[in-house]
Structure 1
């Protein structure tokens, strides 16, 4: 995985808290990572970031 310092802080922190999502992100091809990062830059809140990372990890959202 890219060093966390190269990722947006909120995204890196959310990945740190979600091992499955971090693993999936690490396994992505560079163009796939770029698409995810484009989505990350559109996130406006912690809740949205958490939801994005949960989807990345293949988890169902609760609520």
Structure 2
């Protein structure tokens, strides 16, 4: 995973957490749910990148 991808995914995760916090503080269920979805999407992207990295490591180990 490139450094740029890591930064983008982390920024998306933090934005989702911020939306959740604002949604909770203002009792805005829509904003809270949007934040949860955004954070979950960021975690999924990070997991996919980790799988790709692991695959590359395995391939390199057999080279």
Normalised by the length of structure 2, the TM-score is 0.29
Give 1 or 2: higher helix fraction: 2
- Using CA pairs below 8 Å that are at least 6 residues apart, which structure has the higher relative contact order? 1
Normalised by the length of structure 1, the TM-score is 0.29
